[in-house]
Amino acid sequence: MIVTIENQQFDTDDITQLYPAAMIKTGYNNEVTQISLEWIDMQEGNSDVTVVSYAIFIHKRDRSVASFPYHDREELEEAMEHLASQMQNL
């Protein structure tokens, strides 16, 4: 099956991992890293955690990784809902 994210198509047979994440500052220069949404939710109100953006990550069998950044959680959730609606037909 083919799914589309931000006008890019992916064959689900080629996808090994697909997940949303928050991108946060690590505290080292301008470095950022991805963190699970569950962890971010547990850190709500923690001023030491700075979310830079959100993203959907797709890891493929050829070891390439595609990422789709979103400015805020709402945009990410809309994209995830769109993706979920496509995948319901699997």
pTM higher than 0.85:
yes
Task: Tell me the residue type at 26.
Answer: T
Q: How far apart are CA 21 and CA 56, in angstroms?
A: 6
What's the pLDDT score for residue 89? 66
What's the pLDDT score for residue 56? 97
Is the pLDDT at 66 greater than 90? The verdict is yes
Predicted confidence (pLDDT) per residue in 1-49, tens digit:
899 999 999 999 999 999 999 999 888 898 999 999 999 998 887 778 8
Q: How far apart are CA 2 and CA 74, in angstroms?
A: 24
CA 88 to chain CA centroid, nearest Å? 19
